[in-house]
Amino acid sequence: MAEIARLCWQACGNKVSELEFEHLPSFEVDVQRRWPSVEKAERLLGWRARIGVREGIEGTARWLAER
């Protein structure tokens, strides 16, 4: 999540050195580990991303800035 936040921060024209995170305690019922992966979507649905994460975030930031 921190890496995605950094990409969003940069795509909005901010300096990464100015980004600070505040780590909060987990919720009592929070999932302790997350292993996000698109492998299952590819295997079951034949879906594959056509745009990289950085490119997608930068494109979305440009689109939002135009509005």
Parse the chain into domains and list their residue ranges. 1-19+51-67
pLDDT for 34-67, tens place per residue?
A: 777 889 889 999 999 999 999 999 999 999 999 9
The model carries a pTM of 0.72
Cβ neighbours around 11 below 10 Å, total: 19
Q: Tell me the C-alpha distance between 59 and 53, whole Å.
A: 10
The C-alpha atoms of residue 45 and residue 14 are separated, in whole angstroms, by: 37
Of residues 52 and 30, more confidence is placed in: 52
Instruction: Return the C-alpha torsion angle 9, 58, 61, 2, nearest 10.
Output: -30
Instruction: Give me 36's structure tokens.
Output: 């996000």
Q: Which two tokens stand for residue 8?
A: 């969003």
